[in-house]
Structure 1
């Protein structure tokens, strides 16, 4: 798609920290990624060493050098909304500051994850002859329901574009390799009773009281720590929401609790579901959300060389990320990017200039 007057121009020869600020200035809240996707596509199409493909607001650029290995560098273009002073939702321009002896960029998306996207774009411009073929993926709709994901859409529509030996998702990790990710699922357990007037409670059967057994099971549950490929993944099984009742004078006939299970990548989705059934054998399980875990793939040669280039001890990823999509497609993947993940989605979201540059140096060294 050619650039027009509404498409901001991106200069991929910029310092990656400066480009981060430029990307933050382009609003790309989920469902509104088109201007940024247009700008990314226009900038990449100016690079003759890349083939560029567009699917919705996802842009995929690839080198075609016939190397023995291919790696993917992936990052999402969208951000969550940011409340403004008048109560509406929108983006704010990047703010540059000097804090102590470090320069820092404040603004929505600095950490999650326009710093990582800036690194991808600079590398796409600089690496004309990488040692491995590289696929750069810039995708939409990561911050919303998983079925809207641009990455998932490309995997369905054009899976050949994402075939690779290894993938790096540039999610914020404070510059440390975080291998794979825990899986996650949400499910509901509903208990049933018999409604009655609370003045004649012996006639009814209180469904909320029946949740006591479920909650006691959760309170007694001892989550495991599971070692996978040398990384220790901590699991968790926790109630996250509970409800029931009709009125102040009615014995409730229905009550429910929603539970989140975070499980290590030693288990398939089916094995994790079976563990839940065994934990609550007397209750029907209503599955609400199912996302598989991802093994880190640190035993792959490309991964080992990447870890060496970064120069830090790898860590496990406790939260779920899109590395799981790559893992399900047979591509081992890790998370690695600038910024502190704890700052994502916060009002003071920021990333340090030197963190963006360090991420760029590590990936550049690995690929050149």
Structure 2
């Protein structure tokens, strides 16, 4: 088992985490390393569920905050020479400049910050005025039914209680409040199969989706203001499947649609909207996840925004802040790295960005003198 040194610079700790390959479904080695490192610290109550670990201080403060991050990554790049892979590599000396590797942005830099904060608390270098819960979980990058955080919600809901949560997803060190919801739909057209040499004997189901695509191409997405933040929506065809052979008129075609909707809507609201747009076609909702309102008016959230500075932004993608929102815990995204580099073949993060995130959270958690 890889031993994690929580005393080293947080950028080097990020590199050490990247070097533990943890593509979804293979998180056990990194979960083992994180759990072992946490158990070396004083002052934490630790629970493990599968490949998720929760470490909680129990000082009895009147307020509890949650710092959460996922351990898994998307698969490694297949392009030869890609640097966003495992093991990690540096531009220049280790700990200086830019760190490359799978998960550098999404989100081992954020996990390194969590571990560095836990280590500072365990060593007595940081004595927060709030109790802190650290959550490290598996299976974020795959279907929601596998989510380690979802499993914790089902199995240990009391461990996720708190007044405020921060998800250390990459935000370039700027607070991103809430998140859009997401849903997927299948729009199916039917025809009559026939030999392509006698096409007039059939009805082409692929041709029948032309109006579906035309409606999507003409669709103008909205920008919706929610609690002071502007969420940009999107509605797009993302997959199309039809036909059986090169000499057969297809009798069925399916267009998959993804709708990213503002957090003023529920998944049912989103479904009604899509069904109205696709009136006259067969529509089936295949997946949906609620968004999350920003929650920036909560005192803990407001104090956090004031402490880290900058103008809060909306989160356009879906993140697990939505799960905390459903639990009644206001949550924001705040972490190191550029989200536009997540999952890319050249995924990378600046060492100073990871250190800056750690410094901001340390300052916020530190009691006022």
Q: Normalised by the size of structure 2, how large is the TM-score?
A: 0.92
**Residue number in structure 1 paired with 2:61:** 67
- RMSD of aligned Cα (Å): 2.0
Q: Given the superposition, is the C-alpha separation of residues 71 and 245 from structure 1 closer, same or farther in structure 2, using an over 3 Å criterion?
A: same
Asked if 1:118 is matched to 2:116, the reply is no
- Aligned runs of 1:37-186 on 2, under 5 Å? 37-83=31-77, 92-98=86-92, 103-127=97-121, 128=124, 129-186=127-184
Structure 1: which 4+ aligned runs deviate by more than 6 Å?
A: 84-87
User: Would the alpha carbon gap of residues 18 and 192 (structure 1) be closer, same or farther in structure 2, given more than 3 Å must change?
Assistant: same
Measure how far apart 1:201 and its partner are: 3.2
In structure 1, distance between residues paired with 2:279 and 2:36:
56
Larger mean Cα displacement after TM superposition, 75-84 or 348-357: 75-84
Cα deviation for residue 162 of structure 1 reads 0.5
The unaligned stretches of length 5 or more in structure 2 are none
Alpha-carbon distance in structure 2 between the residues aligned to 1:212 and 1:266: 31
- Once the two structures are TM-superposed, the CA of residue 86 in structure 1 deviates from its matched residue by 8.3
Give the 3 Å change call, closer, same or farther, for CA 216–81 of structure 1 in structure 2: closer
Once the two structures are superposed, the pairs formed by residues 188-199 of structure 1 within 5 Å of their partners are 188-199=186-197
Question: What is the CA distance between 1:284 and its match in structure 2?
Answer: 2.3
Q: Deviations over 1:22-64 (max 9, x none)?
A: 2122222222221211111111112221111100111100011
| Count of residues in Structure 1 that have an aligned counterpart in Structure 2 | 359
SS at match of 2:302: helix
Alignment partner, residue 204 of structure 2: 206
Name the counterpart of 1:323.
321
Residue 171 of structure 1: how far off its partner (Å): 0.7
- Per the normalisation by structure 1, the TM-score is 0.92
Q: For 1:313, what is the secondary structure of its paired residue?
A: coil
1: CA distance between counterparts of 2:358 and 2:241? 48
SS of 1:285's partner is strand
2:34 maps to 1:36: no
**Alpha-carbon displacement from aligned partner over 1:175-229 (angstroms, at most 9, x marks no partner):** 1111111111111111112223334433322222221221121122111000111
1:4 equivalent in structure 2: none
Is this contact kept in 1: 2:235–2:259, CA < 8 A? yes
The answer as to 2:328 corresponding to 1:334 is no
Match of 2:294 among 293, 296, 300: 296
The CA deviation at 1:249 is 3.5
Q: Does 1:258 align with 2:252?
A: no
Q: Can you list the C-alpha shifts for 1:94-139, whole angstroms capped at 9, x where unaligned?
A: 222239x962211221111111111001111213521111110011
Rounded Cα–Cα distance in structure 2 between residues aligned with 1:193 and 1:279: 22
Structure 2 contact 239–257 (Cα < 8 Å) conserved:
yes
Per-residue deviation, 1:85 = 8.0
Q: How far apart in 2 are the matches of 1:193 and 1:79?
A: 41
Residue of 328, 350, 353 corresponding to 1:352: 350
- Kindly provide the CA deviation profile for residues 241-288 of structure 1, in whole angstroms up to 9, marking residues without a partner as x: 112223334332211211111100000111111111222221221222
Partner of 1:25: 19
Structure 1 contact 29–91 (Cα < 8 Å) conserved = no
